Each structure stands twice: as structure tokens, then as C-alpha cells.
Amino acid sequence: MNDVGVVETQYLLLSDMGVHEITLESGAKIGPITVAYETYGTLNETRSNAILICHALSGDAHAAGYHKEIGHKPGWWNDAIGPGKAFDTDRYFVVCSNVLGGCQGTTGPSSINPRTGKPYALSFPVITIGDMVQVQWYLMKHLGIEKWLSVAGGSMGGMQALEWALRYPENVYSAMVIASTGRLSPQSIAFNAVGRNAIISDPNWQNGEYYGKAIPEKGLSIARMIGHITYLSEISMEKKFGRKLQNKKEFSFDFSTEFAVESYLHHQGQKFVERFDANTYLYVTKAMDYFDVAAKYGQGSLKKAMQKISSRMFLLSFSSDWLFPPSQTQELVDALIANHKDVTFYNIDSSYGHDAFLLEVEKETSLIQRFLQSSSKLWQEDRYEAA
Amino acid sequence: MNDVGVVETQYLLLSDMGVHEITLESGAKIGPITVAYETYGTLNETRSNAILICHALSGDAHAAGYHKEIGHKPGWWNDAIGPGKAFDTDRYFVVCSNVLGGCQGTTGPSSINPRTGKPYALSFPVITIGDMVQVQWYLMKHLGIEKWLSVAGGSMGGMQALEWALRYPENVYSAMVIASTGRLSPQSIAFNAVGRNAIISDPNWQNGEYYGKAIPEKGLSIARMIGHITYLSEISMEKKFGRKLQNKKEFSFDFSTEFAVESYLHHQGQKFVERFDANTYLYVTKAMDYFDVAAKYGQGSLKKAMQKISSRMFLLSFSSDWLFPPSQTQELVDALIANHKDVTFYNIDSSYGHDAFLLEVEKETSLIQRFLQSSSKLWQEDRYEAA
């Protein structure tokens, strides 16, 4: 299979569109805003083949292909985006942007506040999934798109896809909510809270004012390690590591990193601190904690919230995902069905846990392709009828 | 129901028995050793009514009744130990001791090393569940007991009960392995590893040399918070907290402790650092990581390991326990059955997660009582036949 080749991240300054600041769900205002994004494929004449890909907690705008300057590191969903792939760039114009509050080019707590000349740090306002989506809406306008063929994402990306369908129904023909949920459960809030606590407890954190100094890498690493436990399943951990020791056969009877699973987590923690901003971790996990579409759109009723949906909905869960378990997707599906919405739902049998949405590419590909093709056709028919 | 009333912790110095040091599984030697223990009820003339209760990670010797000096705080398993209770002190002589490596009276890393006059800290040797059990064996001898009617425990206490049955089959008439496992899974090792990492990353930890100074309370608190997430189930978190906010109705859009579940975890973390030693947390979790009866007693085969069992075995799991899930108890049961051992197994339907073993007292009581009564009778018959 081919891929999209060398790509470049582009930057949109909302102020170039005359948008100097935006109002957030909290009521706070923030601006100026820069949005880092990438595009793959070509927008067709009718502007009806555009797909927005939304990234998860630790993702960025670089979803597919390779960056020239840092060699051959592929985008985070390169397996799913490209010619002939699930999101087929021979057919579709695929867009991905870094979220508001992020640390990979879009304005976030590590960005310079032009009013002070210093990074925002904790003076950056607390944001929501809705705020992230609002910024993506401006990107859509900038690209000359009036309606996405689909907005798609896994995990926190799926929350954004769902939020798009609720917040901007007129701009979303279909939405794909993958390995995600309509609200963060107390267990997930708990894991996020402990991760944030680890960061905040790191003396290097310095109330968020660590830029240009030693970073709170120990705290961020612990947060990431906790995260990775929740991304795997018990079965996948058994298969991948079992009780294997790292590079030896006998117990060392000390506190060195000893089991293979410990070594994996330490490695993941270390890799993460080299590329991710600790304050962004705080902001983005908090946005997830706040996510609850029943509360926001249905006065507590998920069924009532789902009334607002007019997009075709595609939902995918994975059997061994215990972070956002199939039951949480099922709740969304039930509420959509109760409102007679156009719903497609698959629960893929997989041992990979939450990470499955990035790993079960083969199983996902035909499901996603078929849904996008039918959405494309149905939308075309709708337009003929309307014309 | 009554309880055992006011009790006092007693202290056994193994050197008073002529045991000046013991050899650990690592090959290291440690001594002198003090064992903190409590007893409830009366040892009968035939010394055939003694039950050893083994505590979990954060437990201690104070399993039942009240200490005079600190008011009315009941022992950690007061609901299950006392007159007419599961472990009926009108019938049985119940013993509980703090584990080796602990911090509640038994020798551990916070104890003074008589050779240096300073706390051991990390010069304390790394211990195993088997080492804990070896120390309990000396306590048994000191109490004039040759065979326990039963050795019982939940979680890490269940590991000790299983280890007793394998290490000292001649001293254990029956063993009760509750909410436990025959080996720590990679997922559990991962959670322990992250908890230890949080402690070690706390600058106050000072390579374990924090005694008499500021303690690594932030790291220990994070470790405890992680632990508590694994002790609850998703269902029990939903029931207990849901997405409720603590003391308010609107999001605060800041990083204060906001959700009820966060507040609960912070509270648990805070309470824990007031009573528990961070180094003991390292040692005891490491002992759990090493626990694998198939590797130790069966050259990797659980079935082979279970051949060595001669005690009556009672195993209890809880449906929503995802730390030591029912499937792990089932593996033990299957291996025992394959060896035609005397096995009693119940999987109790409960929403409380791992904590269920402390909370589902009503469901446990009759099961435990019945098993102890039948064990008592069967042992008596065995003795008549032998006489």
C-alpha cells in the first residue's frame, strides 16, 4: 500500500480571517489563535469529499505521510489515511489539525501570550471539547468547506466527532465515533486526575511556569505510564509481556526495572516527555473530564441530546477496550436508535484494548470505506433532489 | 453483633526463641526480627482451633476489636472477626500479625538496624511472600501451635494463605484464598510499578533515607490513589460518585479538585501518608510482583505446583474484581481439581470490585463459617482415626 508521501504542516492564523479572539464555553476569551493542520488528497469541485480527522489525547496534526525534516516518522494514523486506505486520499480530501490547548503548533499553554511576551502557562483558559471543535470550524471555513463528508476520530477524537455532530449539525454529513464515549466515566476521570496530580506534584512543575527551565518530566512520565496501562488490555499485556523479565532470567531482588512490562512503561514515559508539554496534558485531560453530551445537550438525558443529531452516525467499539468500553458506545447507539437516527455500529472483537483503534487497521478498513462510500453517494442523491 | 472488645498488640522477638536471623528467598539474611501480632478468642486444649489471618498490602496486626490508646478505631476486618462472626472468636483462636517488611510493628525498612543505629531504609533486603510466611511460621511455634485449623486472607493475604499451604503443608489443615491470585498479572505488576515510580520520583524520597525528615508524601499519595482505582469497580464508582461534582453545581474551569471521585482519591491518598511508610510500600508491592506459585512450586506449571497441596482449600472471588479477577481464582481451582484436591470455590456476585472482600461481609459470613466448621469436624475425625 502507498502512503501520502512527504507532507508539511500548515498554519492558519484566525486573525487573518478577521477572528481576533473566540469566546470559550467557560465564557473566557482567547486570541490570537494559530491552528496547525495538514491536508492529504484533493478537495473536489463540489467540495463534498472533505473529511476531518480529529486526534486523541497525545496526537497532533501530523496524521499521515512523512515530514521531510525529521526523516521518515509516519503520521500517527498513517495506516488508515492514504491511497486505497480506510480514509482513501485518492477519493477524499483529508484534514487533520492539532487541537486548541495542544502543544504541536496550535495555540495552547506553551504558546507565547502576545500581551506578556511569555508562555501562557496556567493563564491559558481551561477549554472543552466544544472549544476545540469551534476552532476546527474556523479551519473548515478557511478551507472553503461548508460541510464535511465526515468528521472522524478515535478516543478523544471520537468525542470531537460527536461534538461536531451536535454543535454544528448543518456542517457534518456524517460522523465517525471510534473507541470513544458520550461522557467520561468516573473511572476515567479518576485516572486523569491521578495523572494530573503526578504532574502537579513534580517540583519542576512550578505552578506551570517551567518553560525554559527543567520540565516536570517525572510527573509527566508517570501520567503517561498510567495512561498506557489503560490503553492496553489485560489479555494484550499477557500476550505482549506476561511475567517476562527484561534481559535476565532471575529476580534481581532490588528496585531496578525488572519486568518487561515495567520496562515498556518506563520507555513510553520517557519517549513522551521528549515530545509533549505537561501543561497541555493538564488542559486536554480536563477537557475530556468535562465531556458529557447528555448534560450539555440533553439536560441529563442522552436520548434527548441525540435528538439534535442530523448526521449519519458510525460508531465503532472494541471488545477488550476497558477505558471506553463497548457498553458506553452501546449507550450512544441505543439513544440514537431511540430517536430513529441513521446509525451504523460495530463492536470489533479484539484483544488490543483501547489501542485497538490504531492497531486493528485491517478490520476497520472495509467498515470505514463502506460507510464513507455510502455517505458520499447518499449525500450526492440528497443534493440532486434538493437541486 | 458483639466484637472482641479492647485488644492490645503484642510483640514477639524471634531472638527470644533463639532465632537471631532468618535466611530469605533471595539468600540474604535478616535479623533480629520483631513480629507485631494480636490474638482474639482462646486456644483450645487440643490446639486445634487456631486460625491465622493474613493481611493485605496496607493492613496490619490489628484485625479486630479496638485499641484503648487510640479510641475506638476498629481493626481492619472487625466485621468478619468476633463472637458469632465469620471467624467466630467464641469457637476459634484467631491470630493476625504484621508482615515482614511492614511498618506497623514488625521489622521492616523503617525499623532501626541495630548494627548502625539508623533505620534500614533501602539496606533492608527485598523480601517475598514466602519470607513473610516464614516469619509467621515462627510466630505459630511461639504460640504453641503445630497446625493451623486455617490460614486465611484476602488480596495479598490470600497469597500468604496459598504460600502457607505450599510451603508448610504439614502445618495447615485448611487455607482460605480470598479475592487473590496464584501469580501477579502483568497489569497488576504495571500498576505496582507506576506506584513505586511515583514514590521514587518524589524528591523527598532521597533514595529511601527520609526518616526524621520530610517524607515523600506526594509520591506515596499518588501510589495510593492508583491503588484505590484498582480496588473499586467501574460500577461501584458509578454508583458511589458518578460524575457528581464536589460541593458545587457548575464546572469551575480551573485545576482544583472538582469531581467527587477526585476528592475521594485525594482524601484516601492523604489519609494513607499519615499512617503508612513509603519504603514499606516499595517492599511489599515488590513481594507481590514476585509472587507466582507456578514458577516457584511447579517449574512453570500451575497444575504441577498444586500437587503439593494437602490442605483443604477454600477460594472466593468477586464478580466485579478486576485487580484479581475471578478468572485468576478459577485457574487455581482448575489446577486443584486436576489434582483431585479438596476444593471449595465461590464466585460472589458483587459490584464492589476488589474491595468486595472487605464489604460483602454478609455474603461471606455463612460460607466461611460453614467451611471452618466442616474443616474443624473433618480434622477431629482425622485425629480420632490416627489415634
Give the whole-angstrom CA distance, residue A197 versus residue A282: 9
Residues of B in contact with A265 (CB under 8 A): 190, 193-194
- Could you say which of B79, B111, B321, B351 is catalytic? B321
Residues of A in contact with B190 (CB under 8 A): 225, 229, 237, 261-262, 265
Active site annotation includes A20: no
Question: What's residue A69's pLDDT?
Answer: 80
Digit-coded pLDDT (tens) for A55-97: 999 999 999 999 988 666 899 999 999 999 999 999 999 999 9
**Cβ-count burial of A387 within 10 angstroms (0-12 exposed, 13-18 middle, 19+ buried)?**
exposed
pLDDT band of residue A1 (cuts 50, 70, 90) is low
Sign of CA dihedral A136, A215, A121, A222: positive
Please give the DSSP secondary-structure letter assigned to residue B172.
Answer: B
Does residue A276 contact residue A220 with C-beta atoms inside 8 Å?
A: yes
DSSP letters of A150-166? EEEEETHHHHHHHHHHH
- Could you say which of A110, A155, A188, A221 is catalytic? A155
Residues of A in contact with B28 (CB under 8 A): 253
Give the whole-angstrom CA distance, residue B229 versus residue B226: 5
- Could you say which of B317, B354, B375, B376 is catalytic? B354
Strands B343-348 and A87-88, bridge-based pairing:
unpaired
Task: Give Cα separations from B146 to A211, B34, B170, B317 (angstroms).
Answer: 65, 21, 9, 29
**Residue A193's closest CA among B249, B222, B17?**
B222
Q: Tell me which residues of chain A, numbers 173 to 232, contact chain B at a CB-CB cutoff of 8 Å.
A: 183-187, 189-191, 193-194, 196-198, 200-203, 218-219, 221-222, 225-226, 229, 232
Please give the DSSP secondary-structure letter assigned to residue B148.
Answer: B
Give the whole-angstrom CA distance, residue A11 versus residue B49: 77
Task: Please report, rounded to a whole number, the percentage of residues in chain A having pLDDT higher than 70.
Answer: 99
**Consecutive 10-residue averages of pLDDT for chain B (387 residues):** 88 98 98 98 98 98 91 89 97 98 98 97 98 98 98 98 98 98 98 98 98 98 98 95 92 96 97 97 98 98 98 98 98 98 98 97 97 97 89
Q: Which residues lie closer than 8 Å to B216 by C-beta, 6 or more apart?
A: B199, B202, B203, B204, B205, B206, B210, B278
Tally of CB atoms within 10 A around A267 = 13
For residue B1, give the C-alpha cell.
453483633
For residue B70, give the C-alpha cell.
487510640
For residue A290, give the C-alpha cell.
468535562
pLDDT band of residue A386 (cuts 50, 70, 90) is confident
Residues of A in contact with B126 (CB under 8 A): 253-255
How many CA atoms, within 13 angstroms, populate the side-chain half-sphere of residue B141? 14
**Residue type at B256 in one-letter notation:** S
Active site annotation includes B155: yes
- Could you say which of A321, A350, A375, A376 is catalytic? A321
State the SS3 of A35-50: EEEEEECCCCCCCCCE
Does residue B287 contact residue B127 with C-beta atoms inside 8 Å?
A: yes
A268 touches chain B (CB under 8 A): no
Question: What's residue B261's pLDDT?
Answer: 97
Give the whole-angstrom CA distance, residue A156 versus residue A323: 11
Which residue of chain B comes nearest to A228, CA vs CA?
Answer: B190
Does pLDDT of A31 surpass 70? yes
**Residue type at A367 in one-letter notation:** L
- Binding-site residue numbers of B are 224, 355
Digit-coded pLDDT (tens) for A250-298: 999 999 999 999 999 999 999 999 999 999 999 999 999 999 999 999 9
Q: Which backbone phi and psi does B340 adopt, to 5 degrees?
A: 60, 35
Q: Tell me which residues of chain A, numbers 126 to 165, contact chain B at a CB-CB cutoff of 8 Å.
A: 126
B248 touches chain A (CB under 8 A): no
- Could you say which of B48, B97, B111, B155 is catalytic? B155
Q: Among B189, B237, B292, whose Cβ lies nearest the Cβ of A186?
A: B237
Give the whole-angstrom CA distance, residue B125 versus residue B24: 8
DSSP letters of B330-345? HHHHHHHHHTT--EEE
Q: Is A355 labelled as part of a ligand binding site?
A: yes
The residue to which cell 430513529 is assigned? A340
- Using DSSP's 3-state secondary structure scheme, residue B39 falls into strand
Residues of B in contact with A182 (CB under 8 A): none
Q: Do the interacting molecules here have an ipTM over 0.90?
A: yes
Average pLDDT of the segment spanning A135-159 = 98
Give the whole-angstrom CA distance, residue A87 versus residue B142: 72
pTM equals 0.96
Residues of B in contact with A202 (CB under 8 A): 201
A265 touches chain B (CB under 8 A): yes
Digit-coded pLDDT (tens) for A187-208: 999 999 999 999 999 999 999 9
For residue A70, give the C-alpha cell.
525529521
Does residue A371 contact residue A315 with C-beta atoms inside 8 Å?
A: no
Question: What's residue B59's pLDDT?
Answer: 97
Average pLDDT of the segment spanning A324-348 = 98
Tally of CB atoms within 10 A around A22 = 18
**Residue type at B72 in one-letter notation:** H
Active site annotation includes B55: no
Q: B217-231 and A186-201 are packed helices; what angle lies between their axes, rounded to 10 degrees?
A: 170
Mutate to test the interface with A, among B122, B206, B209, B234 (most CBs of A within 10 A): B234
**Cβ-count burial of B207 within 10 angstroms (0-12 exposed, 13-18 middle, 19+ buried)?**
exposed
**Residue type at B74 in one-letter notation:** P
Which residue of chain B comes nearest to A269, CA vs CA?
Answer: B194
